[in-house]
Structures are given as C-alpha cells and as structure tokens.
Amino acid sequence: MFAENRVHPRVAIDLTAQIGMYGVPLEEQPALAKITNISLGGITVQGEQALVRSLRLDRPESQRSSEFMVGFCLDGENIECHCRLVHVRRLSQHQYEWGMRFIYNSAAQKLQLAALIDCYL
C-alpha cells in the first residue's frame, strides 16, 4: 500500500459545481462539473468534453497555467473559489478529471472552507 503524503486530507464528496474562466462572473458561464473530492488544498473535478471546450482546455497553451473560478454549495453555504489547474487526466473518450489547487485571497476564506471540510472528516 502507498502512504498518503498529502498535506491536507481528502474528503470524498459528490457536489455539482459551476466552473468558469477566472475574471468572468460565474453566472455568465454555464459550465457544470462534479466535484469528487475536496481538501483544504484543492479539489478534484470531473466533466465531459463540452466542459473542456467551454473552459478552452483543448488549447495546448492553456493546459498548465489556467486559473478558474469554481462555485459550489457546501453545507448550505455558497462558495466561490479561485483555483489553478494542476493536472488533467482523461478517464474515457468523453470523461475528464481535473485536479485544481485553491488560491486563497484571504485567511478568512481559508478558515471558512476549513470549518466546512472538517464536518466531513
């Protein structure tokens, strides 16, 4: 077995998320995906080919430095997080997985998310 070397423990979760390009309001971007796990460090997101096109991830120059906004509801609280794409993995012909790291704009934002995630640990 492999030892878990992550700084922040992952929590398996099934949430619908709205994902959009950073700098554009989420309500103007209809891209939906599924969050499969979350930690204080980031999230794993799954989606289909349409999401790849709408986020412009089909362009080679955008694959490693893309920043996004991810909105989701956790324990009744609407959360919008600034994220940076860390990895992309193709799961099947039409299904993809993205690892995204949170970019916190304030300590308060990090504490709010930590409190919500702690409920699932």
Sign of CA dihedral 58, 60, 64, 68: negative
Per DSSP (E only), the strands in 1-121 are 11-21, 32-38, 42-48, 67-74, 77-90, 95-103
- Stated pTM of the model: 0.82
Q: What's the pLDDT tens digit per position in 71-109?
A: 999 888 899 999 998 888 889 988 999 999 999 989 998
pLDDT band for position 13 (cuts 50, 70, 90): very high
Token pair in block for residue 69: 């906004």
Q: What's the pLDDT tens digit per position in 22-70?
A: 888 888 887 899 999 999 999 999 998 777 776 666 666 554 458 899 9
Contact 90, 36 (CB under 8 A): no
pLDDT in the model for residue 25? 85
